[in-house]
């Protein structure tokens, strides 16, 4: 995280606190009088100077597939469709899955750092381009965020 903070121009004094556990983030928000709700995969809190990335969530980009149990199993009594989640374009080898999960978490971290550093940017094409630039190594000038 420190590497990316330096790269996008966050001063050492303003580096946010990184929290990876949802319960710890809820406790911090409650202690500061904020609602207990936390974002899905990550959240940036400027007021608390904190970035939350949920390290326990396994899937990042989910897509729902519908599977009928009649065709997949031998139990003709259960005709209700079952909804299952699968991650797109993931290899079956364990090493590639671990690497993909790491890249997903890194993308979430950089996403939240972009929220922290560039408050004026909202989700959209420019926002995703900024994340891509940071992951490719582009450096930004240092800026005092919280005078």
Per-domain boundaries in the chain: 2-136
pLDDT tier at 119, thresholds 50, 70, 90? confident
pLDDT level of residue 37 (50, 70, 90 thresholds) = confident
Whether 43 has a pLDDT exceeding 70, the answer reads yes
Average pLDDT over residues 41-70: 70
CA 51/CA 80 separation, integer angstroms: 41
Q: Look over the chain and give the mean of its residue pLDDT values, rounded to a whole number.
A: 78
Instruction: Estimate the share of the chain in helix, then strand, then coil, as percent rounded to the nearest 5.
Output: 40, 20, 40
What is d(CA 72, CA 26) in angstroms, rounded to the nearest whole number?
Answer: 41
pLDDT above 50 for 84: no
pLDDT greater than 60 at residue 69: no
Main-chain dihedrals φ then ψ at residue 138, nearest 5 degrees: -65, 140
The pLDDT value given to residue 92: 55
Which letter does DSSP use for residue 15 in this model? P
For the cut 80, the answer to whether the pLDDT of residue 129 exceeds it is: yes
Rounded-to-integer distance, Cα 144 and Cα 147, Å? 6
| Torsion of the alpha carbons at 7, 116, 108 and 37, rounded to the nearest 10 | 160
């Amino acid at each position: 995280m420190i590497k990316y903070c330096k790269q996008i121009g966050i001063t050492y004094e303003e580096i946010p606190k990184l929290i990876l556990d949802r319960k710890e983030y809820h406790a911090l928000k409650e202690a500061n009088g904020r609602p207990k709700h936390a974002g899905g995969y990550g959240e940036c809190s400027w007021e608390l100077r904190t970035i939350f990335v949920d390290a326990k969530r396994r899937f990042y980009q989910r897509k729902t597939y519908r599977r009928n149990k009649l065709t997949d199993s031998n139990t003709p009594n259960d005709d209700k469709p079952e909804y299952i989640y699968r991650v797109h374009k993931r290899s079956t080898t364990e090493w590639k899955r671990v690497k993909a999960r790491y890249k997903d978490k890194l993308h979430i971290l950089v996403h939240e750092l972009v929220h922290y550093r560039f408050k004026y940017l909202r989700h959209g094409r420019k926002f995703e381009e900024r994340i891509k630039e940071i992951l490719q190594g582009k450096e930004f000038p240092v800026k005092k965020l919280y005078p």
